[in-house]
Amino acid sequence: MKAFLNNKNLIIKYSAISVLILLLFILPESLFNDPDRTFCLHRKLLGIQCPLCGMTRACYDMVHLRIVHALKYNAAVAFLPLLLMLDLSGLFFKGQEPARIKKYANMLFIASLLVIYMVRISLHL
């Protein structure tokens, strides 16, 4: 824990994550329910949702424990709590094993985003 308090980058990282989770918890749902209000440049230019489209709404539903709704917006959101727990476990467990598990979890997250993107492209064609 002492290493955490001495590392400014970790303090900033976990503070930002905490603020984002808190914002998702207290902001009204009406901000996230309008699918026409998108800021995705990929979707506006190509007309296809990018792999991260729906992730904000999915995170909002995940914070409010509406897991089924979250998975409907973007299934990759299921990996975010796992990645956060693995990242936090790195503060308490040092060594090769937690780093290797985190590496594989990150690869699974990226692979899920690629699968989501391929499905979205195939549905568009």
Per the prediction, the chain carries an average pLDDT of: 85
pLDDT > 60? residue 66: yes
DSSP 59-92: HHHHHTT-HHHHHHH-GGGGHHHHHHHHHHHHHH
The domains of the chain are located at: 2-33+40-124
Contact 71, 78 (CB under 8 A): yes
Q: Which pTM was predicted?
A: 0.80
Contact 64, 25 (CB under 8 A): yes
48-72 average pLDDT score:
91
- For residue 9, report the phi and psi dihedrals to the nearest 5 degrees: -65, -40
Q: What is the band of 47 on the pLDDT scale with cuts at 50, 70, 90?
A: confident
92-108 average pLDDT score:
82
